[in-house]
Structure 1
Amino acid sequence: MSRYRGPRLRICRRLGDLPGLTRQTSKKNKLPGEHGETNSKPSEYALRLEEKQKLKFNYGVNERQLLRYIKKSKRLQGSTGQVLLQLLEMRLDNTIFRLTMAPTIPSARQLVNHGHVYVNKQIISIPSYQCKPGDIIEIKNQANSRKLVEQYLKFPGLANIPNHLELDTQNLTGKIHSPIKREWVALQLNELLVVEYYSRK
């Protein structure tokens, strides 16, 4: 299945606040759809599915990519859920979003795809590129690239930059000091339910 390109507010109404997907907020309180006002208790499967969908839509990954991240996080040392979040947070598109160089992850992905971003002096056009501690992210030294990012910096998507990142607004560069810690993940979810969802596959 390809990446979701439909209405974003509908997804946020169903799953809650997804800072990486959109900055808009809906004025409607009830869930979308014909049965939005039903108060039936969700099943355990529905709860796990909802947490998985939050990850999928917030970080803009498809089902196959998310399954690949799950398998990789199981092979690495540490809690599978926290390693999974670290892998997703250290993607290049998400790192640019967390540096406030883009208002959302889809706009950060567009910056990368269009060749506006350098990592360690090399142009990277792959949004899923896995950043590492010590990497230096730069914006291409061209007028249109710098103007675009400067506009984004005036209206950041998130209020705070995580403490594992450092932003130089003058030179439009960012540096990664360490892997992100769990408390700095902006998305509100229970990652253990996502691991449980895929353990039953």
Structure 2
Amino acid sequence: MMEGYVRACISLCLLLTCWFIPVASVHIASDQKLQPDSDAPTDISTSVQSVTEVNSRQPPSADTEREWLVCSPCWEGDACQHYADYYAPRFLVHATTVVLRANSTGVVYRSWSTDEDLGLTCPLGPGYSARCPCAAVAYQLFAPPGDHHFQLDAVTGFLTRNTSMSLEDGKTYTYKIMVQSIPVAGQSKDLLFDLMDLKIYVSPNFIMKIPWS
């Protein structure tokens, strides 16, 4: 009978041992999962901020650089590669008559023209020809063959008398003056221009009249 009691105690001990060990291991494993990892970040906002700081240190993209690109006057496009001359030069008057005396010298007429590129495409101010090529103009005189009585300054538009050739009293000399945009490297369109008719009458009574004076 004593032997049976000993066997029963041994069996009970084995049973308790098999049940206790798995339960203890489960609790130990659970405790380990609840402990924070010292290497992992615990603040989400800190992680987001670090990513933002990294992105802010990246070099600017091509789109960002394009936003800061400022083209010179008369040029446009993503890389300022297109020449823009939107407005043609225009004479203030398209027909005029100048009365001179036969012995007149110096400037006898000045060509007046405007170009709306100056002020609309380009800023106003002195020295615009260097800063605003699409508003700069050149003048040209068209005379009958063999007529060299007058000469025109291409930049100022001043018409002056050629004293090496005499004027005839009572005669009217007819000309055309053209104002035209200045050609620029990279321009693909035709030059814009305007024309005016000019008559110069030589008065036998020595009456001199210049419209712009």
- Please indicate the TM-score interval, normalised by the length of the shorter structure: under 0.3
Tell me which structure has the larger Cα radius of gyration: 2
* TM-score relative to the length of structure 2: 0.20
**Which protein has the bigger helix share?**
1
